[in-house]
Structure 1
Amino acid sequence: MSPGGTRARRTGAPKRTIWPAAGVQEPAEDPAIPAPGGEPTSEPTGAPTADLSARKLGLHGVGPEAKATLTAAGDTGVHRTGEQATLNTVPGHRDGYATLCPGATLYSALPEIRRAAGASVYAH
């Protein structure tokens, strides 16, 4: 766990048009969203997370409410090597890895975060 809570993403620059850190394909660098609301007893991070999601995806013209089909680069506990998975472009780690990350509170807020990100001034 990071000092501010859990991290929903790995750190790095947005080099891809999707968010692969949900478990399939392992690029050297990918977008990151710190998720301090990921603790089971915390409130979701709301608008700041939605705006940041929209901004990072918008750099590549990808919608926060879109889905992407990826191929697993390795066995993640959810997807086997070579298996294709269709994931939201704003996913939780558990969508691709055998984990409970980002926690029940934030995970249940992801549909609203996607919707808010789609309506954000930063969405393209």
Structure 2
Amino acid sequence: MTDNPPDAFLSHHSADKPAVERIAAALQKQGLSCFLDKWEIAPGDEWLRNLEQGLRNSRFIVIFFGPDGIGPYQQAEADAALRCGGKSSNVSIASFRCCCRARRPSTSRSVRCFCRASTR
């Protein structure tokens, strides 16, 4: 895990990871640091402690809901986010409903992601 606290913690179902990773990369290009498990937790790390720290230290918690629903770890992250958001006015929670579809044009693969946001 990096030394600087992240701007946004990105909670997602593992099936949505490729789309969420592209969103995280776009956010970073805009100057926002993101906590994405794939980027912040290395094999052998204390993954649960790192997730808790990422949730606790982030200014924004973004919860992605994709076509496969919510995963078991994602549910725990969402519950923790709501507890954190309820105790602190410094934490903002946003949820995004993503419907990601892969299309295969004749020569290349493209992915379209449609998101609708709500904030708390």
**TM-score, normalised relative to structure 1:** 0.33
**TM-score, normalised relative to structure 2:** 0.34
Normalized per residue, the structure richer in helix is: 2
Normalized per residue, the structure richer in strand is: 2
Q: Which has the higher contact order (CA 8 A, sep 6+)?
A: 1
